[in-house]
Amino acid sequence: MTSEILVKAVDVCKSFGTFKALNEVGLEVRKGEVSCIIGPSGSGKSTFLRCINLLERIDSGAIWANGELIGYRRDGNRLYELSDVEIARQRRGIGMVFQRFNLFPHKTSLENVIEGPVQVLGESSKAAREHAMELLKRVGLADKAGNYPSELSGGQQQRVAIARAMGMRPSLILFDEPTSALDPELVAEVLDVMNDLAA
């Protein structure tokens, strides 16, 4: 028995000026699967991931995530672009972890994790805190909840970033080279957390 399809991309094309980054790319990922996109640098891996949650706009093709067509609404034979608010709603279900962490430097680890749940999902501060502490414990950083990103190592920052993505209870998380900015001895701790999530 196969599980439901989480991501499906069909004939996705994306150019930057005259450079064709994605040329009719297709992909299918089912719930519970771990898929890796590998290739030389400049081959469009990041661009493709960023198209899935609309950090980049595609030129043609279609991407579905969580059962919804991403970024567009069909009316007859045309696809109409969605509004800022609707796109923001679609992104809630898609977590993303960046190469350079992109934690919010003016917020502590805990505040980074609860920001989305409280501001976007409208969870109560108390419920969000409890969930966030669970997640920080899961990534092994319960004792760093009150620390600012600048006080954490790269590996610790990336684990907070994973907890932040998990805080939104997404059905899908995109990892864009999550260990390539880390010192070799810090890679293992991040991979351990990712393995734990995948299990």
Partner 1 sequence: MTDTPLPQSSRDAHDIAHLELVPRRHVGRKVFAAIVLLLVALLIRAFVVGQIEWPVVGQFLFAPVIIQGIWNTLLMTVAAMSLGIALGVLIAIMRISGNPVLEYIALVYVWIFRGAPALLQLLLWFNLALIFPTMGIPGLFEFNTVEVMTPFVAAMLGLGIQQGAYTSEVVRSGLLSVDAGQYEAARTIGMTGMQTLRRIVLPQAMRVMVPPVGNEVISMVKLTSLASVIQYSEILHNAQVIYYANTRVLELLMVASFWYLAIVTVLSLIQSRIERYYARGTRGRTTI
Which residues are near partner 1 by CB under 8 A? 53-55, 84-85, 88-89, 91-92, 94-96, 98, 100, 102-106, 115-116, 119-121, 150, 164-165, 167-168
Q: How far apart are CA 152 and CA 190, in angstroms?
A: 14
Based on CB atoms, which residue is closest to partner 1, 75 or 84?
84
Shortest Cβ distance from residue 82 to partner 1 (Å)? 12
End-to-end CA distance of the chain: 19
Q: Nearer to partner 1 by C-beta: 24 or 151?
A: 151
Cβ 2 to partner 1 shortest distance, Å: 28
Min dist. Cβ of residue 117 to partner 1 (A): 9
The least distance separating partner 1 from the CB of residue 174, rounded to whole angstroms, comes to 8
